[in-house]
């Protein structure tokens, strides 16, 4: 019986991998959705088999649902990443995660029904539905963690063995499947008092399946890919960001709090970001500087040439400022023709040089409609000497800005020379 079961076990692994790899290989002809749908529809059956369907093999009592189909799904997710990229493979990862949660939610609603039994053989197994709900949630969570983990491990191993894709495929799978076996068995033991022999049998079965899948991956790679599968050479952090949609969040964040006219950060964003940048600098025992910029005689520009011309000029000034400040600096539109530049990890002397560069850039590159040079005035304050809070720096820089305007404009006013 064990020999027959083993033959079926191997056949199931080979058939599953060959069929799914075929769908993966021809995804551009038949559509990636065909592969993704086929990958996802078996999850409920996998979970069911892992809970109740076990066979005896030479290396222990195992469930094909866990050791063949679940392990195969995880390795195919890794193959999809290898063939495509992180932004593509996250589709089945999140599709499976959310789809399974919907399944569990609907199952809980079904439990609220008052059922009838058409025949004695058709009695609903409510206990199974309740237990499957918990198993599905736990299995889905593990699959999500496993999917991220196996891709990140594959990439990390690529730094050490870039020319050994099959070894990386096997090793990342072995580590993640071991983690999964520990996690899933813990719940099975809690629900059904499953004996330790099932854990070890299941672990050995997953390792046997992984050997089969790795061998078939090697054949597929050699026959259809050629050469070596190299890692993406992207930082692990970037891969993780793609897998978790973080780049979408960061893109959304970068679009939020933007001034409609000039495209730079607006005042609401300043009130969040600037205090944070200051706190981080001071926490690291680094200085930080802040400057307020005012466009000289801007009201007269609006009066002489109209608000449309004034808006275009303000947009041009903002562009020049943005291109002149350093990558670590943050430029905000404070209101009207005033801007604020927050310079983390920047001492007063360095901020003063940056201010002079900003004045020079605007004076040399921006002209009003009649060709006259546009100038700006600046007030600068620096922490910790001028204060340790954002509001104190802003207030002091504002006072110095007005002093610059009163002194004739087109100049910078900062800390008195004796203090500097």
- Segment 20-77, tens digit of pLDDT: 999 998 988 898 889 988 888 877 777 777 777 888 888 888 888 888 999 999 999 9
What's residue 97's pLDDT? 85
Confidence of residue 329 (pLDDT cuts 50, 70, 90): very high
- Residue 299: pLDDT above 60? yes
Q: Which CATH number fits domain 258-413: 3.40.50.300, 3.90.1650.10, 3.50.50.60, 3.30.70.270?
A: 3.30.70.270
95-109, 215-229, 374-388 — most confident range:
374-388
Task: Decide: 217 and 75 in contact? Cβ < 8 Å.
Answer: yes
3-state secondary structure the chain: CHHHHHHHHHHHHHHHHHHHHHHHHCHHHHCHHHHHHHHHHCHHHHHHHHHHCCEEECCEEECHHHHHHHHHHHHHHHHHHHHCCHHHHHHHHHHHHHHHHHHHHHHHHHCCCCCCCCCHHHCCCHHHHHHHHHHHHHHHHHHHHHHHHHHHHHHHHHHHCCCCHHHHHHHHHHHHHHHHHHHHHHHHHHHHCCCHHHHHHHHHHHHHHHHHHHHHHHHHHHHHHCCCCCCCCCCHHHHHHHHCCHHHHHHHHHHCCECCCCCCECHHHHHHHHHHHHHHHHHCCCCEEEEEEEECCHHHHHHHHCHHHHHHHHHHHHHHHHHHCCCCCEEEEEECCEEEEEEECCCHHHHHHHHHHHHHHHHHHCECCCCCECCEEEEEEEECCCCCCHHHHHHHHHHHHHHHHHCCCCCEECCCCCCC
Give the up-direction half-sphere exposure of residue 383: CA atoms within 13 A in the CB hemisphere. Answer: 28
The pLDDT of residue 249: 54
231 within 8 A of 162, measured Cβ to Cβ: yes
Predicted confidence band of residue 107 (pLDDT cuts 50, 70, 90): confident
Task: Using pLDDT thresholds of 50, 70 and 90, give the confidence band for residue 228.
Answer: very low
| Residue 128: per-residue pLDDT | 67
pLDDT at 254: 60
* Radius of gyration of the chain, Cα coordinates, nearest whole angstrom: 32
Of residues 341, 383, 336, the one with CA closest to residue 359: 341
141 vs 382, more confident: 382
Instruction: Using the predicted structure, report yes or no on whether residue 183 has a pLDDT greater than 70.
Output: yes
Report for 16-20, 39-43, 91-95: range of highest mean pLDDT: 16-20
Residue 334 has a pLDDT of: 93
Phi, psi (degrees; rounded to nearest 5) at 269: -70, -35
Answer whether 0.75 is exceeded by the pTM. Answer: no
Mean pLDDT of the chain: 87
Torsion of CA 99, 100, 106, 108, to 10 degrees: -160
- Give the pLDDT band of residue 328 (cuts 50, 70, 90): very high
What does each C-alpha distance from 64 to 37, 59, 210 come to in angstroms? 21, 13, 13
pLDDT of residue 184: 85
Sequence spans of domains, the chain: 2-110+125-248, 258-413
Q: Is the peptide bond before 384 cis (omega within 30 degrees of 0)?
A: yes
């Amino acid at each position: 019986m064990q020999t027959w079961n083993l033959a079926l076990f191997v056949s199931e692994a080979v058939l599953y991998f060959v069929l799914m790899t075929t769908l993966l290989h021809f995804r551009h002809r038949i559509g990636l959705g065909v592969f993704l749908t086929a990958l996802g529809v078996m999850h409920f059956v996998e979970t069911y088999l892992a809970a109740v369907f076990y066979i005896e093999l030479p290396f222990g009592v195992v469930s094909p649902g866990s050791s063949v189909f679940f392990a195969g799904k995880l390795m195919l997710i890794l193959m999809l990443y290898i063939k495509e990229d992180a932004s593509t493979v996250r589709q089945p990862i999140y599709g499976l995660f959310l789809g399974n949660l919907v399944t569990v939610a609907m199952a809980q609603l079904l439990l609220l029904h008052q059922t009838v039994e058409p025949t004695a053989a058709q009695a609903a197994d409510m206990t199974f539905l309740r237990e499957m709900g918990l198993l599905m949630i736990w299995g889905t969570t593990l699959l999500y963690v496993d999917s991220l983990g196996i891709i990140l491990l594959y990439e990390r191993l690529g730094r050490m063995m870039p020319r050994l894709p099959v070894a990386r495929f096997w090793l990342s799978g072995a580590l993640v499947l071991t983690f999964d076996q520990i996690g899933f068995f813990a719940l099975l033991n809690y629900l059904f008092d499953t004996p330790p022999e099932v854990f070890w049998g299941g672990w050995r079965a997953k390792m046997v399946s992984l050997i089969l899948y790795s061998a078939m991956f090697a054949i597929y790679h050699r026959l259809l890919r050629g050469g070596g599968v190299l890692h993406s050479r992207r930082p692990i952090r970037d891969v993780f960001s793609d897998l978790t949609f973080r780049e979408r969040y960061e893109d959304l964040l970068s679009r939020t709090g933007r001034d409609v006219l000039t495209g730079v950060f607006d005042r609401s964003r300043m009130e969040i970001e600037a205090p944070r940048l200051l706190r981080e600098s001071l926490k690291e025992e680094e200085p930080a500087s802040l400057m307020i910029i005012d466009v000289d005689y801007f009201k007269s520009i609006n009066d002489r040439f109209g608000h449309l011309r004034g808006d275009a000029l303000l947009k041009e000034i903002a562009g020049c400022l943005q291109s002149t400040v350093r990558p670590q600096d943050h430029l905000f539109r404070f209101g009207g023709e005033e801007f604020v530049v927050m310079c983390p990890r920047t001492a007063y002397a360095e901020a003063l040089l940056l201010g002079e560069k900003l004045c020079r850039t605007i004076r040399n590159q921006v002209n009003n409609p009649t060709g006259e040079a546009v100038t700006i005035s600046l007030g600068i304050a620096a922490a910790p000497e001028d204060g340790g809070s954002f509001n104190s720096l802003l207030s002091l820089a504002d006072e110095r800005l007005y002093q610059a305007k009163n002194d004739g404009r087109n100049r910078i006013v900062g800390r008195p020379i004796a203090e500097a």
